[in-house]
Amino acid sequence: MSYITIDPYYGAEFYNECKEALKNNEVNFTEFISIKSPFHWYIKLEETPVMVNYDEISNQEIRWLVNVITPQRANDEYLLKRRNEDSGKAVAKFINNEPLKEAAKSKYSVFFTVKNREEILGISKEFPGKIWYMGKYYNNKYRVCLSSNSMIKNYLTPEQILLEKTDKDMGRFEADLNHKVFRGNDMLLKFMETPYFQDGTHHKVSIKPKFASRFNI
């Protein structure tokens, strides 16, 4: 398993061509972006490629990788298509979906876990805000939720709190969840639309079958 980047050698157009070649050849891959400057894009592959120049990420730097938002529709593919101007901190649009944009702008945000659907529905009936449901992780150990309203702490036990935001750096909140909570055994999945709970109602979204089981609560 390798995490490779071709960014030091090629532009966005060639990167997109490589992605299409991987799809055409039915090669499984996952895209990541490093939240550390120079914000290189990385592709996770079963085997290292040939016939292109690339660099592999070091074990120390893997902790700074976060998933690129997974497209659900053709329009998502267009919006998430990499372009030459998408460099530096412009990559935020590829890693911050609606819940994480909200968290980035808020003074307080928290990732927390719930036991089951009944618990989160019960909380949402009384809690005056939106609770984003981010899916199941770490072999279903955590049913991860996200809220950017500090009042949510009144409805949680200390054991339910996974991680509170302490840094406003782009992507750090997510990277710390992957590293400190999931311990590198899992990584947060993100889509353009995210299910949420509010006023005792579960607001669902369409998730590709490949990922649907992650979001069954």
Domain chopping of the chain, boundaries:
2-95, 98-215
pTM, entire model: 0.93
Q: Which of 26, 48, 39 is nearest to 68 (CA)?
A: 39
Q: Are the C-beta atoms of 131 and 82 separated by less than 8 Å? A: no
Q: DSSP label at 153?
A: G
Buried b (16+ CB within 10 A) or exposed e, 62-100: bebbbbbbbbbeeeeeeebebeeebbeeebbebbbbebb
Q: Which of 69, 57, 60 is nearest to 174 (CA)?
A: 69
Q: Are the C-beta atoms of 72 and 193 separated by less than 8 Å? A: yes
SS3 143: strand
- Tell me how far the alpha carbon of residue 27 is from its chain's centroid: 21
**Model pLDDT, residue 173:** 96
**Model pLDDT, residue 156:** 97
Residues of the chain under the 50 pLDDT cut:
none
CA angle 64, 65, 70 (to 5 degrees): 150
Q: DSSP label at 179?
A: I
Q: DSSP label at 57?
A: P
Q: Are the C-beta atoms of 70 and 4 separated by less than 8 Å? A: no
**Model pLDDT, residue 74:** 86
Q: Name the one residue in this structure whose structure tokens are 């009042």.
A: 151
Phi first, then psi: what are they for 134, rounded to 5°? Answer: -95, -5
pLDDT tens digits for range 21-80:
999 999 999 999 999 999 999 999 998 888 999 999 999 999 999 999 999 888 999 999
**Model pLDDT, residue 168:** 81
